[in-house]
Amino acid sequence: MPRVREEEERGDLVVGGGRRVGDRYIIPVVRVLAVYPGESAMVSLSPVALLFSEGEVEYMALLPGAPPGAREIISTLHDDIEREKRDLRG
């Protein structure tokens, strides 16, 4: 049976690459599932939430299928989210 490992560093949720639309930043949060069958690896990425930032206003939309406690886990990703916003600002 292949080894299955969910990324455990921060629950298994990671900050994806954001996009800038006008003055609004849209940053996805995805669930990572890695499967290691033998010498190879397969990775599944599933969207969990979208973070929106527009000026001083920030909000989050949880997507269908988000795991229980997703908001709490996402709150631990603050540094990664801020880094992504900084990268989007250029």
pLDDT one-digit tens code per residue, 64-80: 989 889 999 999 999 99
Q: Where are the beta strands (DSSP E) in the chain?
A: 3-6, 13-15, 19-21, 24-36, 42-54, 57-62
Q: Domains in the chain: how many in total?
A: 1
Structural domain of 35: 3-89
Q: pLDDT of 43-68, one tens digit each?
A: 888 999 999 999 889 999 999 989 88
pTM comes to: 0.79
Average pLDDT of the chain is 86
